[in-house]
Copies of this chain bind each other. A is one copy, B any other.
Amino acid sequence: MAKQASIKEIAQMAGVSPGTVDRIIHNRGKVSEKRRIAVEKALEEAGYKTNIHTSAVSYRKTITIAVSCPMAIEGGYWSSVEKGFQDALDEFSDIDIRWVALPYDQFDVDSCNSAYSKVLEVENLDAVIIGATFEEPTQELCTKLDSMGIPYVFVDSSIKGTAPWAVFVSDQHICGQVVGRLLDAEESGLAILATRRRGSKRATNSIERERGLLDFLKDHGITTEPKRCQFSSTDITLAEREIGDFFRENPEIRWVTVLNSRGYIVADTLKKLGRSDVRLVCFDFTADNRRCLEEGSIYSLICQRPAAQGYNAIHYLVEHFFYKVGRKEKTTTLPIDVVFKENLPCYRESNR
């Protein structure tokens, strides 16, 4: 535990005043080459690291962060992300962060466009956190932020053709492979059920998951194409009819996955149909899915770490502002957890 050197100590080592050291650390004002070299040597030798917290006290700048993510539903995926934001803000409560939330409806591209345009109007904007759903609007937003020199980070998914400062996601291809592992399906009898997305094309995360699953099947000698079915994510009565029809028409189905967080709809339908012989693997640690896991209508949940994504996004930005490091793209791929009925209890509250 070598004690951290202070600016004052660095100044002594380099034979200059603390003010000069500060100027060099933060690249502000002009410093003679001679002193710059002496100070940089001292910083290096001492392994100097800014004390973020005392720095924040003196700095007294308000950091403005805008965040545009899908609206959180109680117990849903995005409310976990928000919990991560909240945890980080609590931990950095000594830093003055202005938090501008601009959520949008993930099923409505207009709502997204409107939220994004509000992002650009935020006064004194320092950074943006984006939970993207729609590709083109996000690309447009990012281009504008690039030209304004405002850093942005992605949570949950990354959008191609953009230049984020950091990205916090899970590997969706691996998610799909894990589905294959957990289903442990035989040659025929596998089905992929998906929600119908209104208008806009399918979410990129689901597409990548499906690729992962298909790759797994190929690697394990299963060549029969999985059966497919779409169901409504909004009209539950309709969904139940669609799902019910599918299982009646395909009585051989024994292994099923839903590649987004709406698996509980299938689980509840299968339960009503009395089909406990179907193994169902679903995604995300949402309240509805947990209930089904508990009841036994879902076999297993594959979970990302939404709270960790949110927490890390803020942590990254705070470090960035105080250490004033330049842009250096950082992608953090978070773990993918497998949750069964048995280990469900120990995941409560701790999904960081």
- Chain A interfacial positions (CB closer than 8 Å to B): 1, 3-4, 49, 51-54, 57, 89, 93-94, 96-99, 170-171, 174, 177-178, 180-181, 216, 332-343, 345-347, 350-352
Complex: how many Å from CA A347 to CA B352? 14
Q: Chain B residues with Cβ under 8 A from A177's Cβ? A: 342-343
The winner among A52, A170, A335, A337 for most chain B CB atoms within 10 A is A335
> Assuming A335-B343, A343-B336, is B4 touching A94 (CB within 8 A)?
yes
Q: Chain B residues with Cβ under 8 A from A4's Cβ? A: 93-94
Smallest beta-carbon distance A131→chain B, Å: 19
A-B contact pairs, 18 of them (CB 8 A): A1-B89, A4-B93, A52-B53, A53-B53, A54-B57, A171-B345, A171-B346, A177-B342, A177-B343, A178-B340, A216-B342, A335-B350, A335-B351, A336-B346, A337-B337, A338-B338, A338-B343, A352-B352
Determine whether the beta carbon of A3 is less than 8 Å from that of B334: no
Q: Chain B residues with Cβ under 8 A from A3's Cβ? A: 96
> Assuming A342-B177, A345-B174, is B337 touching A350 (CB within 8 A)?
no
Complex: how many Å from CA A182 to CA B334? 23
List 8 extra interface pairs beyond A4-B94, A54-B54, A54-B94, CB under 8 A.
Answer: A53-B53, A174-B342, A177-B342, A178-B340, A334-B346, A335-B347, A335-B350, A336-B346
Smallest beta-carbon distance A55→chain B, Å: 10
Q: Chain B residues with Cβ under 8 A from A346's Cβ? A: 170-171, 174, 333-336
Closest chain B residue to A350, Cβ basis: B335
Determine whether the beta carbon of A97 is less than 8 Å from that of B1: yes
Determine whether the beta carbon of A181 is less than 8 Å from that of B342: yes
Q: Chain B residues with Cβ under 8 A from A171's Cβ? A: 345-346
Complex: how many Å from CA A332 to CA B333? 25
Determine whether the beta carbon of A350 is less than 8 Å from that of B338: no
Complex: how many Å from CA A136 to CA B54? 45
Determine whether the beta carbon of B94 is less than 8 Å from that of A53: yes
Complex: how many Å from CA A345 to CA B171? 10
Q: Chain B residues with Cβ under 8 A from A336's Cβ? A: 343, 346
Q: Chain B residues with Cβ under 8 A from A57's Cβ? A: 51, 54
Smallest beta-carbon distance A332→chain B, Å: 8
Q: Chain B residues with Cβ under 8 A from A347's Cβ? A: 335
Closest chain B residue to A100, Cβ basis: B1
Q: Chain B residues with Cβ under 8 A from A54's Cβ? A: 53-54, 57, 94
The winner among A98, A171, A342, A350 for most chain B CB atoms within 10 A is A342
Complex: how many Å from CA A99 to CA B98? 37
Complex: how many Å from CA A345 to CA B178? 12
Determine whether the beta carbon of A178 is less than 8 Å from that of B96: no
